[in-house]
Chains A and B, each alone.
Chain A
Amino acid sequence: MMTAQAKTIAVVGSTPFAWFLAGLLATDHSRAVVLVTNPCPPGHEATLPSLSVAPLTRPETLSLLVKYGPGAARQTNRIARGAAGRGDLALTAHGAASGAALSHIRHMLAGFGRVVEPLGAPAGTTRVRVRDVWQFHAAPFLAAAPAWLAGANAAMVNAASGLKLRKDGSASFGATPVDLVVLADDAAIVSRLAEAEVAAFAARVAHLDIATEPVAPLATPSIIDLDGGAQLAQDASGRLIGSAQDSDGRGLARITAALPEGVATRLAARGRSTRLLPHDGAPVLGPTRKNRLYVVAGLGRCDMALAPLVARLIVGKATPAEAEWAAAHGAELRQPRANVADFAPEWAGAA
């Protein structure tokens, strides 16, 4: 079945993106939606905000972020006041390779009209600031989203409930048939697809997520370190939320290295997760080869900004250019997808 023909869609996932996608399919595209999700886990408030900008080098992807990011922000703010806000993003490179990548990213973002400014940094380090990036905050969105979903008649069911999957991508809840199942976060993909199937497009990478004690306001509330991919963001209470790949046990060192000069704090919370890192650093979306489950992976922190696009792709309302972009990023393609490969700072540490 073409995904566009699907009238009843099950979205499996517990992230804000999964919830947002489910709601968009129900509200904007009039699909009957079942959101299969876990209860909000404790400590979920310490989640990095999604962004409308990422350190990408492919103009096709960046153009989609430019197109869909502001609208996604407006929509999330309608769902939950304050769920999206603007802030600056700092991108830092310490080495020659990452420095070259940062230079490419800087020109690319400037080409799309973003204000990108050089920032002072120690010798050997390059740092730029991207102005006015939309940041999608998980906590207010997750708090308000159930009411929004209920208003759109999107049913929320516990992930533990019995969802039976078929190879054609359809499924059923007891006697209720579902035309299409969308695996909308890494945990859903890992739990529902065979290991080899996942390995075809992405690697499982251990991640460390932390929160710190509050610090004084940072000059830029979001930071991405292009060497190793550590990411930091300061929340409203002054805490720093950090995340880095930790497959070699050096995740905390990566996060520490991403701290701005002069900032010192203490570890306050720590969590571990397994994330999917596409082999070529580019998003993966579409039906898989072996079964027809629709997977969405590798969007990183641009997931919320691209959610409206993903919803349009699923229901077949994308423009030809968007459909072409999606086809190039399809999950059923054999690796490597050389023409879409993007800069993936996390691979520096995971290699």
Chain B
Amino acid sequence: MLDVSDLAVSFGEQSVVSSVDFSVDRGSLVGLVGPNGAGKTTVLRAVKGTLNPDTGTVRVDGEPISDRSAKAVSRLVASTPQGTSLSFDFSVRQTVEMGRTPHLGRFDRMDDGDRSAVETAMERASVAKFADRPFTSLSGGERQRVLLARALAQETPVLLLDEPTANLDINHAVRTLELVRTLVGDGKTAIAAIHDLNLAARYCDKLVLLAGGGICAAGRPADVLTSDTLRDAFDAETLVTTQPGTDAPLVTPLADRETVDRRIHVVGTGKPAASAVSTLVGAGCRVSVGVVPAGDAAAERSRDLDCEAVTVPAFAGIDDAARERAVELAQAADAVVIAGETGDGNSPVVRAGGTCLAVETDESDYTSTTHDTVPLAALPASVASLPPASERDATLPLNQSTTD
């Protein structure tokens, strides 16, 4: 339906994007993602024909967009800008009615068809309830929905959305993208520049990751959003897991601080242990877990985060093989962290580790007299302050004498 080939755009001497190639099938939604200034908006502008590219062509239905008149393009491609500067007090309805311009000749008046298109568009973008208010009195998010309504009123087969959710609350962000999905399901073709990677991953059929003046990766969200490509594109460390309820990738940016280079073994179950695992992985630690019952939150979390977890079937008790493996991991670790209920049979694992910390929990009956207790938030710093296992060996006897 829409093909972009070998697109290059520069502003003056400054090249913005080059060698951009991608295509969008009819009835699909493609997300343009990438860091600020990567050229998402520029590509959209080239696609709608308001910017002349240095090279390359944009084809809609096989015909280059540059060969068509503005009017012809506006019947094929509707777009919502990132913002608009409407300086006079048009009402919301009047603003949406402007979306009918492509379908009206100079001397035509709006007929019933035009009016119902406007009403439908306002309903769908949920702006009908303030149809008669002045556009300038609306909040940023409301304006954005009005602009979406205007684009819908154009009734075009192709829809371009530039940051359609940037100013929206989570409810309207999701509703807007659900609406786009519905429209795409009805056969429309859509491209959306979205900076929220998780929304993009959840709603787009395909992502095009722009970075460094070109396409960095393109394909299914799960293939594009990996820690490696995101590091290249955004120069940021991220944790990629799976969004609950869908199989779309979930990107969690990690704070850009010094990573804690420690190997930690977590003993415990339930939410406290799962949180401890997330926090430690987020801080850059290599984490192992166990022994935990299979299906426990801590086990699930470790699987999501690619950490080794020693599991046993639920309610089965800890067998020797599992205990042995856990003890090995604990011994190899720089520290053992206790979080939540450890369950019986894990005490050899706890003892096997040299240094031991406990995480404060709400129901802290375990929180111990025997171990230092730290709040979850302070865990990475506490772990970082411990000596690594290699240095600890020298002090081992002393340590043991105090713990026993």
Same complex for A and B? Answer no
